[in-house]
Amino acid sequence: MSKVNEEHSVGRTATVVQVRESLVLVQVDEQASIKKNEVGYVCVGDERLKAEVLRIRGRTADMQVFEDTSGVRVGDRVEMTDEMLSATLGPGMLGRVFDGLQNPLHALAEAHGFFLPRGVSAPPLDLDRQWQFTPVAKVGSKVPPGGVLGTVPEGPLTHKILVPFNEPEPVVVNWLAEGTLTLNDPVARIQTGDTEREVTMVQRWPVRRPVPAPLLRRRYAERLYSQEPLTTGTRIIDTFFPIATGGTGCIPGPFGAGKTVLQSTLARYADVDVVVVVACGERAGEVVETITMYPETKDPHTGGTLMDRTIIICNTSSMPVAAREASIYMGITLAEYYRQMGLNVLLIADSTSRWAQAMRETSGRMEEIPGEEAFPAYLDSSIKSVYERAGVIQCPDTSQGSLTMIGTVSPAGGNFEEPVTQSTLGTVKTFLGLSYDRAYKRFYPAIDPLISWSRYLDQLEPWLSKNLDANWVADVKRLHELLRQGDTINQMMQVTGEEGITLEDYVIWQKSVLVDMAYLQQDAFDEVDACMPRERQLESLRLLNRLVDRDYGFSDRDEAREFFTKVIGLYKNWNYSASDSEDYQRYKNELEQAVSPADAVPSDAG
């Protein structure tokens, strides 16, 4: 945490001995050493191309270059930095768009235009911006690694300035600053043993190493069991397939199934403090839409814009493969940093399929033994190591922070049997499978309730029973079984027609359609229906249960069809009505009358 400086020291050099597209083989001197994941710069004229060591064999090493390698030749010099690929962590990251190496894209565009030249970089944070630093620790006190020295306001949040994570033991605070400071100004002097040094608001951390890892070994922070659900405002997720706060989930689906809209809905309405969006390989058009939409989207939590509490890591499919592979680690590291402050963070990775394809390309160039569909043999362990960085932690100041990770998967042709999807399914605990058939029918969100699942439903039962309803989990499982029964009956009707099933089965099918169309479907573009609070979800679910449980005694299929068509229309209008409106109460009364005609409140009761 010395002064921020993007120019790294160069003490050792290597020489390029082979070039294979974005992979170069370098050789170091006999006296020199080299480390895995160390960063170096391949010198091509006046250009310095950033690269990372992937594999070491004696005096040679394979390095992936994060730029186009045109013009790189055997004999070119490589400057080694003795540093790992790291993230610069400090105030000023919210509201910014970075590439996979944490270069601020807006700053690069202003300096070099929209077509970025090769080998350019910029400081990740604004070094001239001033921050109002307020000390929290006391002079003479001992503060553990990750402990709080002071705070600065950052947008809607209070940004905690932390003791460097790599300190071997608690440090003694000898001096603290106060007032308006820049990122290069010292904010404290800390002492470990006989060594005293100054620290600033900024620290660096290797992106491939989990931030809490050293803290856990020394018990300065503790990983906790996820006990509360993440509230997203999307009924099918919150009710049927919940994701725990600090948990993991995946959204696989074919092209056109609504992944981008669902991601945007989660980012906007999920009950979190910070959102990190990692566009690791998606099409540039979709990424541009995200970048332009977020600053114009109102944040329902803070009243500002959604971008005020969002970080976007942008590496589209047209950017270098190596940078795409690094981008997801960069995003996770930034998310972990905010989690260490006791904040709730949501990380959305779009899409992990493109990230895995980047690994496949690099592995092929390294001539490694391929696994299934030419993906590297370590694909499964790589995916697990990424999702395992999610979780809830107890911070040194007793606050709790969480990192919830949701990755989207783009299997070719919607084939969920391909390796990336299968490895992801073996890792995450919530699977939200998008269906092209449901999207084609305009059933949005197109999460298929018959293939999706959540292992958190039983895990979160104590919280759901205490805070919502004692029968919440049992009711959800019963409705889920009704959907399965309805699907089976529907398949029979495809063969025999309506006349080929009994009236009882026909009513069961109509009840399943009611659950699907009235509760599972939700309009992401409607101001009211886009997000439903848990209290209203509980009210809606209780009424839905009563509609499903009622014995109607229909005389024929036409009467049943007419009744359920009317109820579905009322239910959808109720979903679109604001809770404090007259329409809300009017539609609710009409639905109550459909449940208990004799005892219901008149529909004009207002």
**pLDDT tens digit sequence for 2-21:** 444 444 555 689 999 999 98
333 annotated to bind ligand = no
What confidence score (pLDDT) does residue 5 get? 45
Q: Is 258 annotated as a binding residue?
A: yes
Domain final residue, candidates 152, 178, 201: 201
Q: Do 181 and 247 belong to one domain?
A: no
pLDDT mean over 568-580: 96
Same domain? For 476 and 463 the reply is no
**pLDDT tens, 147-169?**
999 999 999 999 999 999 988 88
User: Residues 326, 351: one domain?
Assistant: yes
Tokens coding 215:
């803290």
Q: Which two tokens stand for residue 384?
A: 């697990």
104 bridge partner residues: 98
CB 162 within 8 A of CB 341: yes
| Residue 69: Cβ-neighbour burial (10 angstroms; 0-12, 13-18, 19+) | buried
279 among annotated binding-site residues: no
If you average pLDDT over every residue of the chain, what do you get? 90
**Tally of domains within the chain:** 3
Identify whether residues 412 and 441 lie together within a single domain: yes
Q: Is residue 80 part of a domain?
A: no
**What share of the chain in percent tops pLDDT 70?**
93
pLDDT for res 249: 97
Contact yes or no for 443/483 (Cβ under 8 A):
no
144 lies in the same domain as 288 = no
In this predicted structure, the answer to whether residue 598 has a pLDDT above a threshold of 60 is no
How much is the average pLDDT of 230-255? 95
Q: How far apart are CA 149 and CA 167, in angstroms?
A: 14
Residues 459 and 480 in one domain: no
255 annotated ligand-binding residue: yes
- Tens digit of each residue's pLDDT (9 = 90 or more) over 511-570: 999 999 999 999 999 999 999 999 999 999 999 999 999 988 899 999 999 999 999 999
Residue environment code for 333-365, b if the CB has 16+ CB neighbours within 10 A, otherwise e: bbbbbbbbbbbbbbbbbbbbbbbbbbbbbbbbb
Residue 434 falls within a domain, yes or no? yes
Please give the pLDDT value at position 602: 44
Residue at 604 is within a domain: no
Q: Report the chain's C-alpha Rg in angstroms.
A: 27
- Which helix (DSSP H) or strand (DSSP E) does residue 360 occupy? helix 352-365
State the pLDDT at residue 318. 62
pLDDT of 284 reads 60
Q: Is 155 annotated as a binding residue?
A: no
- My answer on whether 521 and 457 are in the same domain is no
Domain membership flag for residue 176: yes
The answer to whether 260 is a known ligand-binding residue is yes
Q: What is the mean pLDDT of residues 35-53?
A: 93
* Residue 303 marked in a binding site: no
At residue 158, the pLDDT reads 96
Q: Is residue 380 part of a domain?
A: yes
**CA 220 – CA 208 distance, rounded (Å):** 21
257 annotated to a ligand binding site: yes
CA angle 288, 292, 298 (to 5 degrees): 140
> Is the confidence at residue 351, as pLDDT, over 90?
no
CATH of the domain at 422: 3.40.50.300
CATH of the domain at 170: 2.40.50.100
Q: Which residue segment(s) compose the domain that 485 sits in?
A: 472-595
Give the model confidence (pLDDT) of 208-232 as tens digits.
Answer: 999 865 444 455 667 888 999 999 9
CATH of the domain at 521: 1.10.1140.10
pLDDT of 606 strictly over 70: no
pLDDT at 189 over 90: yes
The answer to whether residue 245 is domain-embedded is yes
pLDDT at 376 over 70: yes
Average pLDDT of the segment spanning 187-208: 95
Of 467, 502, 524, the position where a domain reaches its end is 467
Shared domain check, 456 and 319? yes
Question: Are the C-beta atoms of residues 26 and 14 closer than 8 Å to each other?
Answer: yes
